[in-house]
Chain A
Amino acid sequence: MLTKSLKKQNKELANAQRQLEILSNGIFGDKELPTFAKKIEETGQFPLRPKKLEVLQINLGYMCNQVCEHCHVDAGPDRKEIMTRETMEKCLEVIKNTNASTLDLTGGAPEMNPNFRWFVEQASKAGIEDFIIRSNLTIIRANKKYHDLPQFFKNNKVHVISSMPHWTRGKTDKQRGDGVFYKSIKALQELNAMGYGMPGSSLKLDLVYNPSGAFLPGDQESMERDFKKALLEDFGIQFHSLFAITNLPVSRFLDYLIVSDNYEDYMYNLVDAYNPVAVENVMCTNTLSVSWDGFLYDCDFNQMLGLKVASKIKHISEYNEELLNNRNIIISQHCYGCTAGAGSSCQGTVIPAKAGIS
């Protein structure tokens, strides 16, 4: 079980530049597989350009109470990168004026940012249509000071999205650490008791499923059916939607693929499952990602790879939505993760499941 981030361990793959080299060389460097740019060029989709901005995703810091094996953020208790109140204030100015309809807070565990509650209270006043907090569930049980988070979420009418890799203990604990499964179950029951995830409730509770290993997620609808049945029968838990998310070959998941000798096969799987229809709706075309230090990225994955937006506006302090929308999206081979099968985004698949792709 992992206890330290790649950064803390001084691992080679803590370096974003090294990750980009790996993704550009090998099977892609010797043209055994087409690069992502080449692939989208075939269907006239290069360069990838933004559409209307819909989601502003803000990463409040890389500190987390968990050290998940697949984490593309390389988050963990040893990560000290945390958004300051000053940067949050700049974000709030943007939140008040943006045309985006969704505000999405992520991390790390965003709740561990010391100014988290203040920020959420301020942001909720902006009247954004869908205000999401990505909560890992165990944080609610991690320490007394977090026990009232379900009530806090309810008070601020936020939409909670949480990760749950499987409905069985073994798979969840293997990916996320010992004890994570039962803590998550307890947290979900508390959220249910608060009204979250109940049928017809306006308190939205969605779950994220991402595979615990070197394979792609199955059909989102079937997985949702299986999750709902098992969690209700075994634990009386209810939730609204399940989002099936593909693991992208970035950071700890890339490290895992290489160490377990699954990298080539996984990339073949992603390229084989490439779906040009998914490119049309890929997340980076309607999202902007803000890092803990206020820089802007096309998505959270590009943030972790250190690929700032290709615009003269690079920081939240100089934010200009119109200028930012006039940019090319930066791509590399990790992008195949968002275009495989029915596609993948922070909101799950991007098109209805396509027959023949399993």
Chain B
Amino acid sequence: MANDSYYDPKDLRKFGKITEWSEELGTKFFDYYGKVFEEGALTAREKSLIALAVSHVVKCPYCIDAYTKGGLQKGITKEEMMEAVHVGAAIESGATLVHGVQMMNKYDKLSM
């Protein structure tokens, strides 16, 4: 099958097939995955928003597709979705910026 892209949206439909090449691990993963997203101390809605934020941070296009659709199914509004993405982005940029302290420490140490 000719495909000049690393990512094909249709591949998301085939995700379950990873089990075919390693049944035990694949099955364990999908059982775990399913359990994680059930209603618990957090609602399925809250978990869906966390998943959407993380999807952006790990830059997974399949996950973004899946959890945008998942959010719509749960009645999550676009404002809520965008705020969740900003939470992810804030943590990610914070993680970069907090290293600025390391730079400052090193700078001060090296400077007279």
Contacts of B43 in A (CB 8 A): 222
Q: CB of B96 within 8 A of chain A?
A: no
Q: Which residue of A lies closest to B66 (CB)?
A: A358
Contacts of A219 in B (CB 8 A): 44, 74
Q: CB of A213 within 8 A of chain B?
A: yes
Residue of A171, A213, A355 touching B38 (CB-CB under 8 A): A355
Q: Give the residues from 205 to 248 in chain A that come closer than 8 angstroms, CB to CB, to chain B.
A: 211, 213, 215-219, 222-223, 226
Contacts of B70 in A (CB 8 A): 358
Q: CB of B3 within 8 A of chain A?
A: no
Q: CB of A168 within 8 A of chain B?
A: yes
Assess the A268–B74 pair: CB atoms within 8 A. Answer: no
Assess the A211–B74 pair: CB atoms within 8 A. Answer: no
Once A219-B44, A358-B44 are accepted as A-B contacts, the answer to whether A166 and B75 lie under 8 Å apart by CB is yes
Q: Give the residues from 39 to 76 in chain B that come closer than 8 angstroms, CB to CB, to chain A.
A: 43-45, 48, 69-70, 72-75
Q: CB of B106 within 8 A of chain A?
A: no
Assess the A358–B73 pair: CB atoms within 8 A. Answer: yes
Assess the B73–A218 pair: CB atoms within 8 A. Answer: yes
**Main SS class of interface, B:** helix
A interface residues, tally (CB under 8 Å): 19
Q: A45-74 toward B: CB 8 Å interface, digit per residue (1/0)?
A: 000000000000000000000000000000
Residue of A168, A211, A222 touching B72 (CB-CB under 8 A): A211
Q: CB of A356 within 8 A of chain B?
A: yes
A268 to B12, CA, bound (A): 11
Contacts of B75 in A (CB 8 A): 166, 218, 223, 226
**Main SS class of interface, A:** loop
A171 to B9, CA, bound (A): 26
Contacts of A171 in B (CB 8 A): 77
Q: B21-39 toward A: CB 8 Å interface, digit per residue (1/0)?
A: 0000000000000100110
Contacts of B45 in A (CB 8 A): 222, 226
Q: Which residue of B lies closest to A341 (CB)?
A: B73
Residue of B13, B44, B73, B77 touching A216 (CB-CB under 8 A): B73
Least CB distance, B52 to chain A, in whole angstroms: 13
Least CB distance, B98 to chain A, in whole angstroms: 35
Contacts of B77 in A (CB 8 A): 168, 171
Assess the B73–A217 pair: CB atoms within 8 A. Answer: yes
Contacts of A223 in B (CB 8 A): 74-75
Contacts of B44 in A (CB 8 A): 219, 222, 358
Residue of A166, A215, A222 touching B69 (CB-CB under 8 A): A215
Assess the A213–B72 pair: CB atoms within 8 A. Answer: yes
Assess the B73–A356 pair: CB atoms within 8 A. Answer: no
A171 to B74, CA, bound (A): 14
What residues of chain A have their CB less than 8 Å away from a CB belonging to chain B?
Answer: 166, 168, 171, 211, 213, 215-219, 222-223, 226, 265, 268, 272, 355-356, 358
- What are the 6 tightest A-B residue pairs by CB atom distance, in nearest-first order? A218-B73, A218-B74, A215-B72, A215-B69, A356-B34, A215-B73
